[in-house]
Structure 1
Amino acid sequence: MKNFMKLAQVDVTPLMLAIRRRPELWQEDTFLRHYPQGPFGETESIMLRFPKIADFSRDKTGRKMEKYKQNLLPGYDQHESEDKPAFKVLTEARPIVFALMGSVQGERLGRVMINKIVPGGRIFPHADTPVHAEYYSRFHVVLQSQPGVIFRCDDEQVYMATGEVWWFNNKLEHEVINNSADDRIHMIVDIRTSR
């Protein structure tokens, strides 16, 4: 396979138990799901690390609303991600993330998010933003998956089992279809590595 590489097997049980104890975390950030014309309309996400792009304002009734936009101020580093509150709550994610950084000799940690696709759901075909995909390598830590989940990248597809860690080429068009009877949950970790 040229677009996927299985790297390791890790124990994801502590992290999955922590997620199950905090189901409200799935509702705290809807950026990906509500991204205009984005491929993630059928996913729920827990953002652990993500760029600072939220702008808060109030609607006519005075309710706080989030408007998402890229910060284009001078000196803004589009590759910088910040810890989100969920990263402090789900401390069980940290050893997995930092062990992965060590094993691939990572130089910079980018986005870290946990994505869930319900049975019958999907992430629609897309390729990640070229400037981001060129800068970071994309890794998937499979927290929960069952046979029937299809992960396609270009002309290849793979089934990633629970506990496996994979690299994949997110520069090319890819999609995920959950044809299983259970939620498909992956932790996505972007790491800058020497090429």
Structure 2
Amino acid sequence: MSAARLELTANPRKTRTVRPLGPVDITALRAAVAAIPEDVWAAENAAKPNKFEVLDATRHIVFRFVDSPRDWRGSHDRPAWTAWRGLLEPVLAHAVRDYGYARGVFPRVMLARMPPGGVIHPHIDANPAAKWPHKIHVPLTTNPGVVSLFGGAEHHFPEGEAVEVDNLGPHWVRNDGDADRIHLIFEYYDADQPDPDWLAPFLRASAAP
């Protein structure tokens, strides 16, 4: 069976709408992010691995990323991770506290900065590596003009409130305000959860000549 014909079902633990995860202390991280020079944003964005047209003018600083878009189980630290790890790890741990995973893994971790007037066009996260991890946002700075669509409904996510979103359904974001919208965005999965039945045959089919 070809990779295209396999049914790559989503992790049943993922939300199909949005899942509020509660408040997170972002004080130190938000202050550090506010101090990032523009030339650092420009350089990190130019080197980012997630260059997709739907992201439009949104800039990113990527701390961790998957080795392959086919498999979430392999990921790596990018150069910025070492300097930012001490600020990021407490926020990540606090945001995921209710999942209760003994061996949770963060395959992708990044900052996303959307300017006033910016948009992220309607899309779904179609790569197989997005099928299994939870997709979580922690807003660091926002404004009332920031609106996003997840799970078929529009939302405004307040600063410091972590939320899991449905990345496998159509979603978009729009910043109609007059200030940047900066989110910490990351993925999270349970290393003790059995792999889906489709993963091994999919990887074999993908590797076939």
- What is the TM-score of this pair, normalised by structure 1? 0.78
Judging by fraction of residues, say which structure has more strand: 1
Q: Supply the AA of the counterpart residue of 2:129.
A: H
1:179 matched residue in structure 2? 176
Contact 1:130 1:171 in 2 (8 A): no
Alignment of 1:46-65 (within 5 A): 46-52=61-67
Structure 1 pair 138–78 and aligned structure 2 pair: CA distance change class (3 A): closer
1:41 aligns with 2:56: yes
Structure 1: runs of 5+ lacking an equivalent: 54-69, 71-75
1:56 matched residue in structure 2? none
Q: Supply the AA of the counterpart residue of 1:112.
A: V
1:165 aligns with 2:162: yes
Say which SS state the counterpart of residue 125 (structure 2) adopts.
coil
State the shift of 1:130 in Å: 4.7
Could you say what the CA RMSD is over the residues aligned between the two structures, in angstroms?
Answer: 2.4
**What's the CA shift string for 1:61-110, capped at 9, x where partnerless?**
xxxxxxxxx7xxxxx95542211122222231121112334432343221
Structure 2: runs of 5+ lacking an equivalent: 1-14, 195-209
Distance 2:29 2:137 in 1: 14
Say which SS state the counterpart of residue 120 (structure 1) adopts.
coil
Distance 1:173 1:157 in 2: 12
- More displaced 10-residue stretch of structure 1: 98-107 or 136-145: 98-107
Q: What count of residue pairs does the alignment treat as equivalent?
A: 172
2:112 matched residue in structure 1? 115
Q: Supply the AA of the counterpart residue of 1:17.
A: A
Judging by fraction of residues, say which structure has more helix: 2
1:18 aligns with 2:50: no
Distance 1:44 1:89 in 2: 19
2:77 matched residue in structure 1? 83
Alignment of 1:146-165 (within 5 A): 146-165=143-162
Q: Supply the AA of the counterpart residue of 2:66.
A: P
